[in-house]
Structure 1
Amino acid sequence: MESLASQFILFIISFIANLFSALAGGGAGLLQLPALLFLGLPFSIALATHKVASVFLGIGATARHVKSASLNWTFVLVILAFGLPGVWLGAHIILHIEDRYAQLALGVLTLGLGVYSWRKPELGQTLNLSHQNLPGWVIGGLVLFFIGALNGSLTSGTGLFVTLWLVRWFGLDYKLAVAYTLILVGLFWNGTGALALGLQGQIEWGWLPALIVGSLLGGYLGAHLAIVKGNRLVKRSFEIMTVLVGLALIVKSF
């Protein structure tokens, strides 16, 4: 799988998957992970390889978002402090359990996220911070811990959960929520998951160059489109991605 043609196929898959993921705030695993499985990698190796490549989605998106997004360090600390332990836990659990029913439940829930956002046209269109107190941070953080565990164990769509939770609970607009998701989930959550899975299993290093380049370029361009086009396009992209990811997980569970 290391021929020039094969590397080009991997690059195209990675670029498309990560472009839409950077625009919507998650969902790269919808296309990238199944493609790695289809091309012949065992699940555990495909999962670890995908996680490594996803870190570079975060790098590409961060390179664009840091120019325009002013990060609130309280948000940063809550997302990392609660999310990273969940990611580490989930990554250690996934290689030892049957995930069929979890994928079905996650698929239904992800599909519900898209429908919920679609039925609330003004959701996430303006910045209206809420739950900015200790109980709000703790409750919001505990949900992020649970999402982190899903991120470590099930690769498709968990960034979308973080995006909507930041919008719904903390009152961020979609564009800012996506920036937090791509920078913190893309870099740190996925980096933690990649490390945990890499220590347990194997990574297909020969496939990574094309995946990394596609992730970097797709992440940067998707983040650029999100910034330039604004909340309306990001919201629509989020809704489309959640429906597609949800349906894909439901079908895969059968």
Structure 2
Amino acid sequence: MPLTDQFVLFLVSLVANWFSALSGGGAGLIQLPMLIFLGLPFGVALATHKVASVFLGIGAITRHWRESHLERRFSLIILGAGLPGVVLGASTILQVPPQIATFLLGLLTAGLGLYSVFKPRLGMDYTPRNQTGAGLALGMAGLFVVGFLNGSITSGTGLFLTIWLIRHFGLDYKRAVAYTLILCGFFWNGTGALVLGVLGTVAWGWMPALLAGSILGGYLGSHLAIKKGNRWIKRAFEATTILIGLKLIFG
């Protein structure tokens, strides 16, 4: 791959993963279309993006791990409910035409941002709930659905996990983004990358620039999120979801 294209890939990956680490998802909606634009077929671009996205999780882990206070039990709930959905979604996406799914994803993504805008206190306070009984069962069903979307559509679904953790489980933005980046960014995406790598084809020659941008962008975005706090993250989440949703709807 020409050096100029590698540099373009690095810049795109850096910016996409910086936004993703700050707002809790969305890197794929910038990075995946760029891979297709530069000449990769959809299936190859999808598998390549999924592998690269694992390194967003690595970049985020290096910054969030000591300050995020992730709870072991709740982390295992997110992994246990979401990973089967990731595997199922990644196993089916290469057989599904993406046009209708992309349009619906755009509507839902923009809707998440607007919902947050009209709920001023959403994600501002840490009020944990629904971690036992029927509330937990419903929450795990939602995590499975988000996992399926993560494995199949792959682009921007970290945003769905962030808002589900806030809306249903009562997390604030700062904690929800930490869970999303570490558990979804590394473990969910790693599982999806493994499945897509086996079933599809990865453009390994494109990886050096993508990996460097993912790690650096993930670290820098996480650093800014930790420093700025909930209100700043909330605004970044709203802007990212609305803009990405419009991009998906209108192309």
Same-fold call, TM > 0.5? yes
Correspondence 1:201 to 2:200:
yes
Where does the alignment leave 5 or more consecutive residues of structure 1 unmatched? none
Q: CA-atom RMSD, angstroms?
A: 0.9
Q: Measure, in 2, the Cα distance between the counterparts of 1:234 and 1:14.
A: 20
Q: Measure, in 1, the Cα distance between the counterparts of 2:250 and 2:46.
A: 19
Q: 2:73 — aligned with what?
A: 74
Q: 2:240 — aligned with what?
A: 241
Counterpart AA for 2:236: S
1:74 shift after superposition: 2.0
Q: 2:45 — aligned with what?
A: 46
Q: Measure, in 2, the Cα distance between the counterparts of 1:184 and 1:129.
A: 18
How many aligned positions are there? Answer: 251
Q: Measure, in 2, the Cα distance between the counterparts of 1:69 and 1:97.
A: 37
CA contact (8 A) 1:107 1:245 kept: yes
Counterpart AA for 1:119: F
1:251 shift after superposition: 2.3
1:132 shift after superposition: 2.5
1:135 shift after superposition: 1.6
Q: 1:139 — aligned with what?
A: 138
Give the match's secondary structure for 2:233: helix
Once the two structures are superposed, the pairs formed by residues 199-238 of structure 1 within 5 Å of their partners are 199-238=198-237
74-83 or 181-190, larger mean C-alpha shift: 74-83
Q: 1:62 — aligned with what?
A: 61
Q: Measure, in 1, the Cα distance between the counterparts of 2:223 and 2:97.
A: 38
Q: 1:107 — aligned with what?
A: 106
Q: Measure, in 1, the Cα distance between the counterparts of 2:133 and 2:98.
A: 34
1:192 shift after superposition: 0.7
1:99 shift after superposition: 2.4
> Normalising by the residue count of structure 1, what TM-score does the alignment of the two structures yield?
0.97
CA contact (8 A) 1:91 1:197 kept: yes
1:35 shift after superposition: 0.4
Give the match's secondary structure for 1:95: helix
Counterpart AA for 1:126: D
Q: Measure, in 1, the Cα distance between the counterparts of 2:41 and 2:151.
A: 17
Q: 1:21 — aligned with what?
A: 20
Q: 1:180 — aligned with what?
A: 179
**In the TM superposition, what whole-angstrom CA distance separates every residue of 1:103-132 from its partner, at most 9, and x where no partner exists?**
211211111000000011111011111112
Correspondence 1:9 to 2:5:
no
Give the match's secondary structure for 2:39: coil
Q: 1:122 — aligned with what?
A: 121
> Normalising by the residue count of structure 2, what TM-score does the alignment of the two structures yield?
0.98
1:4 shift after superposition: 2.0
**In the TM superposition, what whole-angstrom CA distance separates every residue of 1:154-199 from its partner, at most 9, and x where no partner exists?**
1221100000000011100001000000000000110011111110
